[in-house]
Chain A
Amino acid sequence: MQNRFPLRALLLASAVAMAAAAPAAWAETPADTLVVAGQIDDIISMDPAQSFELSGQDVIKNLYDRLVDFDPTDLEAGFKPSLAESWEVSEDGKTVTLTLRDGVKFQSGNPVRAEDAAWSLQRAVKLNLSPAFILNQFGFTAENVDQQISFDGNKLVLKLDQPYAQSYVLNSLASEVASVVDKETVLSHAEGEDLGNAWLSTNSAGSGPFNLGAWKPNEAVQLVGNADYWQGAPAMKRVIVRHVQESSAQRLLLEQGDVDVARNLTPTDIEALSTSDKLVIGNEPRGRILYMGLNQKDPILSNPAVVQAMRYLVDYKGIEDSFLKGQFKIHQNFLPEGYLGASDENPWTYDIEKAKKILTDAGVTSGTIKTTVRDMAEYSNVMQTLQASMAQVGLTLEIQQVTGAQSLDAYRARQVPIYVGEWGPDYADPNTNASTFAYNPNNADDAKLSQLAWRNAWAVPDEMNKATVAATLEGNTDKRRQMYLDLQQQYREIAPIIPMFQRIERDGMQKNIHGWTAGGSVSSAMYRKVTKE
């Protein structure tokens, strides 16, 4: 048998390969390194004036300090002093003066001055990229911002166009877009008129607890601890966030001890991991609201009785306990739990009979609606249960699956009759959701607004529009809270954009990890307090 030789060779070759592959021990990650597995392919920039993606915000939160900030491990406290140690509001409510803390240094060694803070805010307004609107709400424009934002010694002075609520202004200043960047360093890398945007997209120049070691898109972000951090050096000298698309792969990495935290586990994987005695499963409410938008251009859906009936056609409990288990919880208000003025009233239940009665009383017995849904399991499953319950009251729902981009295009053109999707708050103030769910100053087709109310062609009643604006101007925080509670109560009665669930994040992590937080409902991940024991 002469030509057995190749077979023998191949056996030999594979044996050699296996021997060479036999690894060193895959025990655990280094004691001073935090390794996170997550889906981070959404990041397009590391510039605080540009980044507006969830994963990007998680990084920027740790690279920079802001004037005031949230501590996700203590959200009850609201915003706290950070680079600004105190602030005062003028009598007319239109000037906010913040006093900067002494002795804080950027990682470059430059001192953090009021000048840097003023320049950082001016820069974000002038670049006018995705998150700039958070600052523009206070009347800043590229033309006036040099006058409206100024500094004097260690004081930063903001001149607002309206006497906004102090909590509204400071909540907004806690957003990532208001991060304070090192003016001298960034300017030294500016190209043309870009105010250093190109450079800062892939570098960091902050005073935060970490600096950007490396960012390889779709692959990994590496943060390096700042040993001189003014609030104390972080225990983790390195944080590595790896892009791992698949839940099953994240789970394997976690089980093998190759990562400390896995952030995108499916309910099935969480179920399986929860029995392990080496791991713990976190449970944090996040800010995203899963809602159903009923387009008021649709002849059937614009009938208030149909809107009313639809609220009872969602099998809230059934959905929460089945395919959204561990990912969402029932929440029927537009302010997520954790926000100022959030309400925990969830009045609607799944009640076919009630829905049927509302519809027959209004003379609606049949009808067909054609809609689209984004090709994500969560949304299309919700849509399908809706289809089934609508069929029971005589309404036919035809569903077409589309990609995320197509879905967004159609939604922006007000062409989705029933939209099921998520809304994530943009900043830590209740106005972020109130101004999109309960505010629509112009319902005309050519207004092209980004409000959800506009996208669903809902002409928000005048008094509700006014109430939403009034809540941004109320200086007394307790009164402001009550205003949002009242607003949501009224909203629940009439609105065709129906909040159904709030996102919860369940991270799998090694038992020795302490102080981990994904940011709760109002903030982003914070690595500074993470320790390993």
Chain B
Amino acid sequence: MTNTDLSAAPGPGASPPSSRRGARLGRRMRSLGGLLLSLALTLLGLLLVTFIIGRVMPIDPVLKVVGERATQAQYEAARLAMGLDKPLWQQFLVYMGEVLRGDFGRSISTGHPVAQDLRRVFPATFELAALGTLIGVCVGVPLGVVAAARRGGWIDQIARVVALVGYSMPIFWLGLMGLLLFYGILGWVGGPGRQGIVYDGMVPEMTGMILVDSLLAGDWGAFRDAFSHIILPASLLGYFSLAYVSRMTRSFMLEQLSAEYITTARVKGLSERRVVWAHAFRNILVPLITVIALSFGSLLEGSVLTEIVFSWPGLGQYITKALLAADMNAVLGGTVLIGTCFVALNILSDVLYRTLDPRAK
């Protein structure tokens, strides 16, 4: 950590003279422009790479459209209609043009417009990942801090085992066991799927996140039902996120706790609680936010197995399935969405840095 040696620095620096304000505004505008430019370039690069991979993949997307029994004439007609006869660069330009108009095309594996599909699957994944990360952070951060504060103590040992298990257990197996125990045997939670049958389609769709929608509609029954369905997969994802977050928190904290300013604080006679939470913990917030944002991002794209086990109609499953069917419109649309999410998370953590870290102001 590069900021360890500096983190003993005193609180907010002196405010700059007012004459510099205009210059600062200009700088901000420029940095915003730069941000947007880098965002556009990132997405363009992402699109280009995905597009090329999709086109060189040894899978024939036309077959998925026309089916196994199609005659050669039907096959050719579909190939023409999909524009696959054109040179690759031309196909890319056409595609880019459509994307700029907000049209991601139609998915060949669902028959729906990709934008519509994404509007449906993304909230499902977002809801799951957000709750998972929330659980992971609420449990993982305190666990990591305590583990570091009492290094070698029993909590530290437990945290280590918990993290190790979290890293090494196949989520597929854990998910099935969780379902068997909490749904099959104990009956505490709802089964696979986002909702019970009775509530299916009962809550007016606004955000697409059922927890939020049912709250907005004031339908407590639907909320409880949705919660009982989401809690198990979210806990599982939370567990994995916890494993990562707690380990990272612990190592950040250990670094801080061995720094000289902590010794100073202790010598001053501050309570251990104040030393750990008010001094050391405050200083790890910045790197911790990056860790959390990355973990959230990876849950957004990488919970395919969880989605399959829990019949969760989310983004991971959607993209995987599309990829296997060479459904490039869907894959590209999903990739852009996830790419945008990562960029947005980066910007968000950037903004949080600035508020939390006085030196970044």
Q: Which of A10-18, A111-119, A350-358 contacts B (4 or more CB under 8 A)?
A: A10-18
**Contacts known (A243-B311, A252-B183, A406-B58); A10 close to B139, Cβ less than 8 A:** yes
Q: How far is the CB of B129 from chain A (nearest CB, A)?
A: 17
**Which residues on A sit within 8 Å (CB–CB) of B117?**
217
- A18 CA to B189 CA, complexed, in Å: 9
Contact A220 to B272, CB < 8 A, known contacts A6-B142, A246-B308: no
> Is there an interface contact between B191 and A252, defined as CB atoms closer than 8 Å?
yes
A448 touches B311 (CB 8 A): no
Report B-chain residues with C-beta under 8 Å of the C-beta of A219: 120, 313
Which chain B residues lie closer than 8 Å to A201 at the CB level?
111
> Given A2-B271, A217-B110, is A130 in contact with B70 using a C-beta cutoff of 8 Å?
yes
Q: Which of the 9-residue segments B13-21, B221-229, B257-265, B288-296 touches chain A?
A: B221-229
* A29–B197 CB distance below 8 A: yes
Q: Cα distance A448–B69 when bound, in Å?
A: 11
A 163-193 contacts with B by CB, 8 A? none
A 7-27 binary contact with B (CB < 8 Å = 1; else 0): 101100100011011111010
Q: Which of A59-67, A100-108, A253-261 contacts B (4 or more CB under 8 A)?
A: A253-261
Render B85-112 as a binary contact track against A, CB cut-off 8 A, 1 for contact: 0000000000000000000000111111
The answer, among A10, A26, A130, A403, for a CB contact under 8 Å with B67, is A130
User: How far in angstroms is the closest Cβ of chain B from A450?
Assistant: 5
Given contacts A130-B66, A408-B63, contact A217 B72 (CB under 8 A): no
Interface residues of A in 411-453 (CB under 8 A from B): 412, 426, 448, 450
User: In chain A, what residue has the closest Cβ to B194?
Assistant: A219
What is the CA–CA distance of A133 and B71 in the complex, to the nearest angstrom?
Answer: 9
* CB contact list, A105-161 vs B, under 8 A: 128-130, 132-133
Q: Which residues of A contact B332 (CB under 8 A)?
A: none
A45 in contact (CB, < 8 A)? yes
Contact between A21 and B225, CB atoms less than 8 A apart: no
Chain A residues whose C-beta falls within 8 Å of the C-beta of B255 in the assembled complex: none
Stretch at the interface among B47-55, B316-324, B343-351, B352-360: B316-324
Complex Cα–Cα for A406 and B64 (A): 12
Are the CB atoms of A240 and B180 closer together than 8 Å? no
Q: Across the interface, which residues of B come within 8 angstroms of A22, CB to CB?
A: 188, 228
Rounded to whole angstroms, the CA-CA distance of A219 and B109 in the bound complex is: 13
Contact A2 B225 (CB under 8 A): no
B114 to chain A, nearest CB (A): 11
Instruction: Give Cα distance in the complex from A242 to B200, angstroms.
Output: 11
Counting CB contacts under 8 A, is A244 at the interface? yes
Asked whether A405 and B326 contact (CB < 8 A) given A3-B272, A17-B231, A218-B317, the answer is yes
List which A191-237 residues lie within 8 A (CB) of chain B. 201-202, 213-214, 216-220, 222
> How many residues from B make CB contacts under 8 Å with A?
70
Which of B25-33, B35-43, B143-151 lies at the interface? B143-151
Candidates B110, B189, B192; contact of A249 at CB < 8 Å: B192
- Residue B204 interfacial (CB < 8 Å): no
Which B residues are in CB contact (< 8 Å) with A3?
A: 145-146, 149, 272-273, 276-277
CB atoms of B66 and A405 under 8 A apart:
no
Contact between A214 and B201, CB atoms less than 8 A apart: yes
B206 within 8 A of A: no
Neighbour of A242 across the interface among B69, B139, B193, B325, CB < 8 A: B193
Shortest A391–chain B CB gap in Å is 30
Distance of A408 Cα from B70 Cα, bound (Å): 13
Asked if A512 is at the interface (CB within 8 A of a chain B CB), the reply is no
**A35 an interface residue at 8 Å Cβ cutoff?**
yes
Interface set, chain B 170-192, CB cutoff 8 A to A: 176, 179-180, 183-184, 187-192
Q: Is the CB of A218 within 8 A of B110?
A: yes
Task: Kindly state the separation between the CA atoms of A220 and B271 in the bound complex, as whole angstroms.
Answer: 57
**Max chain A Cβ within 10 angstroms of own Cβ: one of B139, B146, B190, B311:** B311
Note all chain B residues with C-beta closer than 8 A to A249: 176, 179, 191-192, 309-311
Complex Cα spacing A18 to B186, Å: 12
Q: Is A30 an interface residue (CB 8 A)?
A: yes
- Give the contacts of A249-297 with B (CB-CB under 8 A): 249, 252-253, 255-256, 258
Interface size on A (CB < 8 Å)? 63
Complex CA distance for A448 and B108, rounded to whole angstroms: 24
Question: Is B60 at the interface (CB under 8 A from chain A)?
Answer: yes
Residues of chain A lying within 8 A (CB to CB) of residue B311: 242-246, 249
Decide: A23 near B228, CB < 8 A? Known: A252-B192, A406-B58.
Answer: yes
CB distance from A479 to the nearest CB of B (A): 28
Is the beta-carbon distance between B188 and A255 smaller than 8 angstroms? no
Q: List the A residue with the shortest CB-CB distance to B120.
A: A216
User: Which residues of B, 208-237, contact A by the 8 Å Cβ criterion?
Assistant: 221, 224-225, 227-228, 231
Q: Give every chain B residue within 8 A of A18 (Cβ-Cβ).
A: 188
* Chain A residue at minimal CB-CB distance from B276: A3
Task: Check A349 for interface membership: any CB of B closer than 8 A.
Answer: no
**Least CB separation from A8: chain B residue:** B142
Q: A21-B231, A45-B111, A405-B59 are in contact. Are A253 and B146 (CB under 8 A)?
A: no
Task: Bits for B66-86, please: 1 = Cβ < 8 Å to A, else 0.
Answer: 111111101001000000000
A130 CB, nearest partner CB in chain B, Å: 4
CB-defined contacts of A133 to chain B, threshold 8 Å: 69, 71
Q: Does A365 contact B (CB under 8 A)?
A: no
The answer to whether B192 and A244 have CB atoms under 8 Å apart is: yes
B146 and A6 contact, CB distance less than 8 A: yes
Measured in the bound complex, the distance between the Cα atoms of B223 and A237 in whole Å is 25
Please state if A10 and B138 are interface contacts (CB–CB under 8 Å). yes
Identify the interface centre among A17, A219, A450: most chain B CB within 10 Å of its CB: A219
Counting chain B CB atoms within 10 Å of each CB, the highest count among A10, A44, A46 belongs to: A44
Chain A residues contacting B149 (CB-CB under 8 Å) are: 3
In the bound assembly, the distance between CA atoms of A337 and B67 in angstroms comes to 25
A521 within 8 Å of B by Cβ? Answer: no
**In the complex where A7-B155, A255-B184 touch, is A20 in contact with B191 (Cβ < 8 A)?**
no
A462 at the interface (CB under 8 A from B): no
- Residue numbers in B under 8 Å from A346 (CB-CB): none
B198 at the interface (CB under 8 A from A): yes
**CB-defined contacts of A243 to chain B, threshold 8 Å:** 311, 313
* A13–B295 CA distance with the chains assembled, in angstroms: 22
Residues of B within 8 A of A17 (CB): 231
Report whether A130 and B197 are in contact in the complex, using a CB–CB cutoff of 8 Å.
no
Q: Is the CB of B197 within 8 A of A30?
A: yes
A6 and B145 contact, Cβ closer than 8 Å, known pairs A23-B224, A130-B66, A406-B58: yes
Q: Interface on B for A, CB 8 Å cutoff?
A: 58-60, 63-72, 74, 77, 107-112, 117, 120, 138-139, 142-143, 145-146, 149, 155, 176, 179-180, 183-184, 187-193, 196-198, 200-201, 221, 224-225, 227-228, 231, 271-273, 276-277, 308-311, 313, 317-318, 321, 324-326
Provide 27 A-B residue pairs closer than 8 Å at the C-beta atoms, listed in order of the A residue: A2-B273, A9-B142, A10-B143, A13-B138, A13-B139, A20-B224, A22-B228, A26-B187, A26-B190, A43-B110, A129-B74, A133-B71, A202-B112, A214-B201, A217-B107, A217-B111, A219-B313, A222-B201, A240-B200, A244-B311, A246-B311, A252-B179, A256-B187, A405-B60, A405-B63, A405-B326, A408-B63
A2-B272, A21-B231, A408-B63 known; 20 new pairs, CB 8 Å cut-off, are: A2-B273, A3-B273, A7-B142, A7-B143, A7-B155, A9-B142, A20-B224, A21-B228, A22-B228, A24-B224, A26-B187, A41-B109, A240-B200, A243-B313, A249-B179, A256-B184, A405-B64, A409-B58, A409-B63, A450-B69
Q: Please give me the 4 A-B residue pairs with the lowest Cβ-Cβ distance, nearest first.
A: A6-B142, A217-B110, A219-B313, A130-B67
